[in-house]
Amino acid sequence: MTEWIEELPALSKLTDAEAAEAMNAMTVEKLLPISSAELLAWSAANGRFARVDDATGHANVMIRSLACAAKLLLTRDGTSLDLNKLDRVAMLDSLVAVEVLTEADKASLYALATVTRKKYSHLGPHHVAYARKLP
């Protein structure tokens, strides 16, 4: 059956109508890729772009390489940052670890990428009643 039936045990003390209403109110968060235009606008705030640009001249080759990649990501049209990809998250974490970006910068990127959506919609009491009768 459908995934929403698995939510029912947590709602067992509610009437069918209350359970349907509660389920229709449930939300999930999803990370969407951040477009190049959004990244450029994000980088302009709080000196982020300048910090990344400054780090492109760092003596440490690893930091310099990370900063160069980040700068390209921020300036190249048609790119995006997908925080669902582990290598992009690792790059971001590394930039925070070497203090090119801050934890607040990282949090603001995640906030920019996060979309909240309804988990279920249009469930009625009759759906709940039917699901409760299933073995």
pLDDT at 1 over 60: no
Q: What is the largest CA-CA distance in the chain?
A: 67
Residue-wise pLDDT tens digits, 25-51: 887 889 999 999 999 999 999 999 999
Q: What whole-number distance in Å separates Cα of residue 130 and Cα of residue 5?
A: 10
Residue-wise pLDDT tens digits, 101-135: 999 999 999 999 999 888 777 888 888 888 777 77
Residue-wise pLDDT tens digits, 3-27: 666 666 777 778 888 888 888 888 7
Return the percentage of the chain with pLDDT > 90, whole number: 64
Contact 79, 33 (CB under 8 A): no
User: What integer is the mean pLDDT of 79-102?
Assistant: 96
Contacts of 3 (CB under 8 A, 6+ apart): none
Backbone φ and ψ of 33, nearest 5°: -60, 145
